[in-house]
Amino acid sequence: MTEQKTWSQRFESALHPAIARFNASIGFDIELIEYDIAGSIAHAQMLAKTGIISKQEGEQLIIGLEQVLKEYQQGIFKPGIDAEDVHFAVERRLIEIIGDVGKKLHTARSRNDQVGTDTRLYLRDKINQIRQDLREFQKVLLDLAEKNVETLIPGYTHLQRAQPLSLAHHLLAYFEMADRDWQRLGDVYRRVNISPLGSGALAGTTFPIDRHYTAELLGFDGVYANSLDAVSDRDFAIEFLNAASLIMVHLSRLSEEIILWASQEFGFVTLKDSCATGSSIMPQKKNPDVPELVRGKTGRVFGHLQAMLVLMKGLPLAYNKDLQEDKEALFDAVKTVRACLEAMTILMREGIEFCTQRLTQAVEEDYSNATDVADYLAAKGVPFREAYNLVGKVVKTSIAAGKLLKDLTLEEWKNLHPAFESDIYDALAPRQVVAARNSYGGTGFEQVRKAIKQARARLEKPATKS
Ligand code: ARG
């Protein structure tokens, strides 16, 4: 490519090559090219509509811009460092293709409102894609839940056995987290989808532009009310990174559970060969690399959020070159979240097998039915706190005797409290312990079946933009 001077005649010498490299964003912002061209086409249409340029010039600009995109897609147009960024690269190639008319494109526009427009158009698309990814993930969780309503799994608090659960209930907890993520992104979308185009460098423009027209052409829901705010706002990026971080929090928590469940200590799941890896030295190993990587990648998304917050906190109005740093954070967060959602969706769909025998045994082998004994007495009129204390004592003596609660004889129960009858054994059985928790939002099978139906209805609602 020919060496061209980008700047006005004010500059006499070219940039130092190392400084040019340092300054350039083309290495990463080329990712925005299709959005940059879409924004430029809308801008050209507006310039022609308002009579700032002629209709014919407008058409020439559009044909030229479409040609630039085609050349890029065909791999013919490969801008280098000398172009500095995607905006200059496209403009320069346009001028090469259509000649002097191309020089009219940047009338009434600055790279500042241009880059803001591109970034929003990009993020809008990515938000829609991630919301789709989330729906896929939710669907897989729901399918798995549907098959496991009556599969029991120990429930924990403080990572200590607490009360048994329907496995479906456990999986639906992650469905709900993903649902909030989906909603949250829809909310972020509303603030992403506002047009800064036409704000100029910072103060607006002397030309009779029509910002509402470009906004409409580009599918924005509104325009920024203040030009300074428009070119320097990155709240939408921070909000997106916050939503992305929460998705990662949720995926990471699920990952942690799967890693624990796959350990020999738990033995609740086995990972299928298609989703597990081996060790280069220990032939017996099967490692949960997928959830480990998801857990690990969570840190970089949090990092991008932190970086953006710090990037913004000291910036005077309006545009500052610091803002160029927003892109790699966004691009990497988008890629990371999408890759993790895809991997976890595959893992949950076909990479994980719950060991039902071990799970059945697990819920039998502990004292996680102790609350139910207390509830049993309370239901018979014994004040709950009294019942709680009594059962605590029973658990203590049973542990000392190496017995489970189900091993106590009716006589032993009766000696503890006359209210005990032979139906205590039913009340203690893990299946009954789960079934009995039939309060709204609880793990009782009936509730879980209702929750699944309700969740399915949510998924089947026609997808809206936000
Ligand atoms: N590459 C720049 C960025 O990503 C584009 C905007 C440059 N604006 C400027 N006034 N230097 O932020």
382 near 417, Cβ under 8 Å?
A: yes
Which residue minimizes the CA distance to atom 4 of ligand 1?
A: 324
Q: How far apart are CA 167 and CA 151, in angstroms?
A: 5
pLDDT, one tens digit per residue, over 394-411 is 999 999 999 999 999 999
Residue 284: CB atoms within 10 A of its CB come to 6
Q: How far is the CA of 245 from the centre of ligand 1 (A)?
A: 26
DSSP for 287-342 reads B-HHHHHHHHHHHHHHHHHHHHHHHHHTPPSS--GGGGGHHHHHHHHHHHHHHHHH
pTM for the structure as a whole: 0.95
Average pLDDT, integer, range 189-194:
98
Structure tokens at 172: 């639906």
Q: Higher confidence at residue 168 or residue 279?
A: 168
User: Which band of pLDDT confidence, cut at 50, 70 and 90, is reported for residue 8?
Assistant: confident
Q: Which residues line ligand 1 (CB under 6 A)?
A: 25, 29, 85, 111-112, 115, 319, 321, 323-324
Q: Which residues of 183-193 are buried (b: 16+ CB within 10 A; e: fewer)?
A: ebbbebbeebb
Question: Residue 380 is encoded by which pair of tokens?
Answer: 């018979």
Q: Tell me the one-letter amino acid at 278.
A: G
H or E segment at 163? strand 160-166
Question: What is the reported pLDDT for 1?
Answer: 42
- Candidates 8, 13, 158, 274; catalytic one: 158
Mean pLDDT of 361-372: 94
What is the distance between the alpha carbons of residues 153 and 166, in angstroms, rounded to a whole number? 6
* Separation of alpha carbons 416 and 409, rounded Å: 11
The pLDDT tens digits of the residues spanning 80-128 come to 999 999 999 999 999 999 999 999 999 999 999 999 999 999 999 999 9
Average model confidence (pLDDT) across the chain: 95
The verdict on whether 255 is a catalytic residue reads no
Q: Is residue 464 over pLDDT 70?
A: no
Give the mutation target among 85, 86, 228 for probing the ligand 1 site: most ligand atoms within 8 A of CB: 85
Best CA proximity match to 276, nearest among 295, 259, 254, 300: 259
86 CA: nearest ligand 1 atom? 1
Looking at residues 183-190, what average pLDDT do you find?
98
3-class SS at 222? strand
Q: How far is CA 174 from CA 154, 180, 292, 335, 455, in A?
A: 16, 10, 17, 21, 12
User: Given this model, what pLDDT does residue 221 score?
Assistant: 98
Q: If you measure from the C-alpha of residue 5 to the centroid of ligand 1, how many angstroms do you get, rounded to a whole number? A: 17
Ligand 1 binding pocket mutation candidate from 109, 123, 323 (most atoms within 8 A of CB): 323
**58-70 residue pLDDT tens:** 999 999 999 999 9
Q: Is the pLDDT of residue 5 over 60?
A: no
Query: Active-site residue 304, yes or no?
Result: no
Sign of the C-alpha dihedral, residues 439, 442, 443, 446? positive
Q: What is the pLDDT of residue 2?
A: 43
Predicted pLDDT of residue 111: 98
Which protein residue's CA is at the shortest distance from atom 11 of ligand 1? Answer: 321
Q: Which residues contact 109 (CB under 8 A, 6 or more apart)?
A: 43, 197, 198, 200, 205
Distance 112 CA to ligand 1 centre (A): 6
Q: Is residue 17 a contact partner of residue 71, using CB atoms and an 8 Å limit?
A: no
Is it the case that residue 465 has pLDDT exceeding 80? no
* CA triple 228-229-230, angle to 5 deg: 90
Q: What is the pLDDT of residues 286-340, one digit of tens each?
A: 899 999 999 999 999 999 999 999 999 999 999 999 999 999 999 999 999 999 9
Most ligand 1 atoms within 8 A of CB, residue of 31, 228, 324, 326 to mutate: 324
The overall longest dimension of the chain from CA atoms, in Å, is 102
What average pLDDT does this structure show over 203-228? 98
The pLDDT assigned to 461 comes to 84
